[in-house]
């Protein structure tokens, strides 16, 4: 009996250690420290929702208030019983959960709400032009231009790699971000390798 206990304990310790070891190995492969990798996981935890993303929302001990796969509408809202419309776009799941709990307090004493991201289909960018696999890319949770080009299968032999642009739509209209592959590949002007935002279009001429 004692032997089984210590065997289980060793297995549990190994499992608990695995994420950190994997994180360190992944960080080392990218040439960054564990601290930077940990910082990256923090940004993942603070993922901001987009229209088109899906949420699983449930209230503890209130099965009739369970709503799986709620799709965030184009205006950034979800609708939940007793609560009405809640703005989710641009917010974290923690913020959305907090608002739902506060509104439910009118009807349920000390409600415990769970909000989980069930899908990030709204967090999409596009790579078009002279790449091997053009199309939409689901960013889970974030990628940069270099990563997007890799996911798109790399450039074709006809691509003009130093004339790549990123088209980004903002509140003031569209803007163009230039991306010169050769410079970034050589470790120069790395600020061009921007993190893509939902709706960005990477054009490889």
Domain extent listing, the chain = 2-45, 54-119, 124-204
- Domain 54-119: which topology? wza like fold (3.30.1950)
pLDDT in tens, 49-83: 999 999 999 999 999 999 999 999 999 999 999 99
Is pLDDT of 84 > 70? yes
Q: How far is CA 80 from the centre of its chain?
A: 23
What per-residue confidence (pLDDT) applies to 121?
Answer: 86
pTM, entire model: 0.63
On whether the CB atoms of residues 196 and 142 are closer than 8 A, the answer is yes
Please name the CATH architecture into which domain 124-204 falls. Roll (3.10)
Check residue 141 and give its pLDDT: 66
The three-state secondary structure class of 48 is coil
* pLDDT band (50, 70, 90) for residue 92: very high
What tokens appear for 38 in the block?
A: 């940990």
């Amino acid at each position: 009996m004692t032997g089984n206990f210590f065997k289980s304990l060793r297995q549990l310790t190994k499992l608990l250690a695995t994420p950190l070891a994997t994180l360190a190995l992944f960080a080392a492969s990218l040439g960054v420290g564990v601290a930077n990798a940990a910082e990256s996981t923090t940004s993942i935890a603070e993922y901001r929702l987009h229209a088109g993303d899906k949420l699983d929302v449930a209230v503890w001990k209130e099965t009739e208030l369970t709503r799986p796969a709620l799709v965030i509408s184009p205006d950034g809202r979800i609708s939940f019983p007793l609560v009405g419309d809640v703005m989710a776009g641009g917010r974290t799941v923690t913020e959305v959960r907090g608002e739902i709990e506060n509104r439910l307090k009118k009807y349920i004493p000390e409600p415990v709400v769970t909000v989980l991201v069930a899908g990030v289909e709204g967090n999409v960018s596009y790579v078009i032009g002279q790449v091997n696999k053009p199309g939409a890319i689901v960013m889970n949770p974030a990628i940069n231009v270099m990563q997007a080009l890799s996911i798109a299968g790399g450039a074709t032999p006809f691509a003009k790699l130093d004339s790549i642009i990123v088209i980004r739509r903002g509140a003031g209209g569209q803007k163009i971000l230039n991306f010169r592959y050769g410079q970034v590949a050589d470790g120069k002007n790395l600020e061009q390798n921007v993190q893509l935002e939902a709706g960005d279009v990477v054009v490889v001429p």
